[in-house]
Chains A and B, each alone.
Chain A
């Protein structure tokens, strides 16, 4: 009997079965209904500037090589030889002219085209190499340097997919004269939890801060979240949270970067740079967005952005019970290199596998996953009803808006998730 997804997520998504995070059958449906269909984040173009530059990525559990071709275009191919399936690239990142399978040395160029089969000179027939390249990701598109791929050739354009989420992402990207860049390789680590747990945490759950992180986050920071915090769902599945600071707020209380210990300890020059960015924010992103002091964002299904500590993250599933979490330090592209090194510290000290705050988050996700697979609690689905129906439209910003304690971001995510899984069932 196939699972009835309506039993997992109820109609207004206020009750969600624990199975959503732990059931292997549901995970199989997620692969078909979400990871085979959605736009998935692959890389930032700043990581692959030159011809031959490549980085590894994943789409679900499938390994992907993202590379810059000699024609300047970005390519994304499955990292698996067409002959016997071995990965043809074993490095995390680098620059190369070819990918070679270790087993029989089939050679591919950086665009994924098969260029040599060493054995073919010993046989009479000539395989059609044009059909034997690495399997290309059928759709690859970029927005503001963010490269996404989709396995669904019919997927809507990336612009439409992101929709009004772009308004909120641009509140950050466009603050900086040359946008942002990803600083080196991501931190990556595995957590024994379901992939949706980090996603939900970053999508809008800023209200765990005062409680789970009370040992580190000062109470006044939490007051600001409660008093000035807004949660927005620009489109179901996406989310943005931020504080909308008063117009007369001092520059240091609004400017990006002043919440990070690394920039606070980083010296007057870095702080002057941050002030200068904020001083010009109004002309770059407009009066409303210049007052936004971001918290966390989510892009459906598994991309997250942590504005305050400046990391982009992807939650790669590894079965229902494990997630491989990738977390990149993000810095303004125009900043001098020594400033970038200082700024990346706002990410690494507090987040990542050794992060002062992230260790509490990982703990919560592992424990929630444990709680999601215990027996005899099927009749106690998780309650997602906080703030039901309290979200509203606003004239000055797109999407539905509410206080951060309203769990509508998660209800919208799981409604979309339910539709995607029902569609996968056919």
Chain B
């Protein structure tokens, strides 16, 4: 999603009706419930087979003095090393990778998840930024509590920038970019479904 779209801060009431907002919110609530219930196979069906699933790395760039005084000086975008960057995103995956992760989750020798973690996520700030034909650009925020036996409890926080594809059987996730709000990664894994 472009920087420009992210910064346009008014929705278009002609495109984003209360009914559409409700529909999209219900999609995200259901998604959160499936993930926290560990119904990953059912969740995978919400992903388009053309999904691009990216978690950019988040670095500390040099301040550009020429941008002093402008919002762009400390924009989040400058910190992100995503799929198109010459850095190394934390995750940059397509459907087969997600399939592999789902498959792994249901094997008893996936030791990092045996016993499995307890998660609970609150998804909010669901904003439909744009609607183009059957594609919706949606951002949302999440807080997720992660607790694994024998370990501490961890708070995961971040933003999702999605493109949803509207079809006969509901919405599918076509693009997902996950912006993790962590400066130092001290979380046990970023391999979970976010």
Interface mask (A140-184 → B, CB under 8 Å = 1, otherwise 0): 000000000000000000000000000000000000000000011
User: How far in angstroms is the closest Cβ of chain A from B101?
Assistant: 6
Number of interface residues of B (CB under 8 A): 41
**Chain-B contact segment, one of A9-17, A60-68, A88-96, A131-139:** A88-96
Whether A359 pairs with B191 at a CB distance below 8 angstroms is yes
Q: B97 is contacted by which of A92, A261, A337 (Cβ under 8 Å)?
A: A261
- Whether, in the assembled complex, B76 has its beta carbon less than 8 Å from a beta carbon of chain A, the answer is no
- Whether, in the assembled complex, A360 has its beta carbon less than 8 Å from a beta carbon of chain B, the answer is yes
- Whether, in the assembled complex, B104 has its beta carbon less than 8 Å from a beta carbon of chain A, the answer is yes
Whether B60 pairs with A92 at a CB distance below 8 angstroms is yes
What CA separation (Å) do A184 and B86 show in the bound complex? Answer: 6
Whether A212 pairs with B85 at a CB distance below 8 angstroms is no
User: How far in angstroms is the closest Cβ of chain A from B189?
Assistant: 5
Interface mask (B79-120 → A, CB under 8 Å = 1, otherwise 0): 001011111111111101100110010010111110000000
Whether A90 pairs with B60 at a CB distance below 8 angstroms is yes
- Interface of chain A residues 313 through 355 with chain B (CB within 8 A): 328-329, 337, 341, 344-345, 347-349, 352-355
What CA separation (Å) do A188 and B57 show in the bound complex? Answer: 9
User: How far in angstroms is the closest Cβ of chain B from A425?
Assistant: 33
- Whether, in the assembled complex, B187 has its beta carbon less than 8 Å from a beta carbon of chain A, the answer is yes
- Whether, in the assembled complex, A123 has its beta carbon less than 8 Å from a beta carbon of chain B, the answer is no
Measured CB to CB, the residues of B under 8 A from A are: 55, 57, 59-63, 81, 83-94, 96-97, 100-101, 104, 107, 109-113, 150-151, 184-191
- Which label, helix, strand, loop or mixed, suits the secondary structure of the B interface? loop
Whether B191 pairs with A190 at a CB distance below 8 angstroms is no
Whether B86 pairs with A183 at a CB distance below 8 angstroms is yes
- Whether, in the assembled complex, A8 has its beta carbon less than 8 Å from a beta carbon of chain B, the answer is no
User: How far in angstroms is the closest Cβ of chain B from A173?
Assistant: 20
Nearest residue in B to A93 (C-beta to C-beta)?
Answer: B59
Known: A91-B61, A185-B59, A216-B104. A360 touches B186 (CB 8 A): no
Q: A216 is contacted by which of B62, B92, B100, B185 (Cβ under 8 Å)?
A: B100
Whether A214 pairs with B109 at a CB distance below 8 angstroms is yes
Categorize the interface residue count of chain A.
Answer: 35 or more
Whether B104 pairs with A190 at a CB distance below 8 angstroms is no
User: How far in angstroms is the closest Cβ of chain B from A381?
Assistant: 23
**Which residues of the partner chain B approach A73 to less than 8 Å between Cβ atoms?**
none
- Whether, in the assembled complex, A362 has its beta carbon less than 8 Å from a beta carbon of chain B, the answer is yes
Whether B88 pairs with A183 at a CB distance below 8 angstroms is yes
Known: A261-B97, A354-B190. A189 touches B59 (CB 8 A): no
What CA separation (Å) do A356 and B100 show in the bound complex? Answer: 9
Known: A94-B61, A261-B96. A354 touches B186 (CB 8 A): no
- Whether, in the assembled complex, A228 has its beta carbon less than 8 Å from a beta carbon of chain B, the answer is no
What CA separation (Å) do A328 and B88 show in the bound complex? Answer: 8
**Which residues of the partner chain A approach B186 to less than 8 Å between Cβ atoms?**
189-190
**Which residues of the partner chain A approach B151 to less than 8 Å between Cβ atoms?**
366
**Which residues of the partner chain B approach A348 to less than 8 Å between Cβ atoms?**
88-92
Whether A362 pairs with B61 at a CB distance below 8 angstroms is no
Known: A183-B86, A184-B88. A354 touches B189 (CB 8 A): yes
What CA separation (Å) do A216 and B57 show in the bound complex? Answer: 24
Whether B81 pairs with A349 at a CB distance below 8 angstroms is no
- Whether, in the assembled complex, A36 has its beta carbon less than 8 Å from a beta carbon of chain B, the answer is no
Whether A360 pairs with B59 at a CB distance below 8 angstroms is no
Whether A349 pairs with B189 at a CB distance below 8 angstroms is no
**Which residues of the partner chain B approach A345 to less than 8 Å between Cβ atoms?**
92
- Whether, in the assembled complex, A186 has its beta carbon less than 8 Å from a beta carbon of chain B, the answer is yes
Nearest residue in A to B63 (C-beta to C-beta)?
Answer: A91
**Which residues of the partner chain B approach A216 to less than 8 Å between Cβ atoms?**
100, 104, 110
- Whether, in the assembled complex, A207 has its beta carbon less than 8 Å from a beta carbon of chain B, the answer is no
User: How far in angstroms is the closest Cβ of chain B from A198?
Assistant: 15
What CA separation (Å) do A388 and B55 show in the bound complex? Answer: 45
A sample of 10 more A-B contacts (CB under 8 A), given A94-B61, A185-B59, A359-B189, is: A92-B61, A95-B62, A189-B190, A216-B110, A261-B100, A353-B189, A354-B189, A360-B110, A360-B111, A363-B188
What CA separation (Å) do A91 and B64 show in the bound complex? Answer: 11
Nearest residue in A to B178 (C-beta to C-beta)?
Answer: A354
Known: A261-B97, A348-B91. A354 touches B60 (CB 8 A): no
**Which residues of the partner chain A approach B111 to less than 8 Å between Cβ atoms?**
212, 215, 360, 363-364
**Which residues of the partner chain B approach A1 to less than 8 Å between Cβ atoms?**
none
**Which residues of the partner chain A approach B150 to less than 8 Å between Cβ atoms?**
367, 370
Whether A185 pairs with B62 at a CB distance below 8 angstroms is no
**Which residues of the partner chain B approach A362 to less than 8 Å between Cβ atoms?**
112, 188-189
What CA separation (Å) do A185 and B87 show in the bound complex? Answer: 6
User: How far in angstroms is the closest Cβ of chain A from B102?
Assistant: 11
The residue among B57, B61, B85, B112 with the most chain A CB atoms within 10 A of its own CB is: B112
What CA separation (Å) do A212 and B187 show in the bound complex? Answer: 20
Q: B185 is contacted by which of A349, A353, A363 (Cβ under 8 Å)?
A: A353
- Whether, in the assembled complex, A187 has its beta carbon less than 8 Å from a beta carbon of chain B, the answer is yes
Whether A356 pairs with B94 at a CB distance below 8 angstroms is no
Known: A91-B61, A216-B100, A349-B92. A183 touches B87 (CB 8 A): yes
User: How far in angstroms is the closest Cβ of chain A from B94?
Assistant: 7
User: How far in angstroms is the closest Cβ of chain B from A329?
Assistant: 5
**Which residues of the partner chain B approach A364 to less than 8 Å between Cβ atoms?**
111
**Which residues of the partner chain B approach A353 to less than 8 Å between Cβ atoms?**
90, 185, 187, 189-191
What CA separation (Å) do A364 and B184 show in the bound complex? Answer: 21
**Which residues of the partner chain A approach B104 to less than 8 Å between Cβ atoms?**
215-216, 356
Q: B96 is contacted by which of A183, A185, A265, A337 (Cβ under 8 Å)?
A: A265
User: How far in angstroms is the closest Cβ of chain B from A200?
Assistant: 18
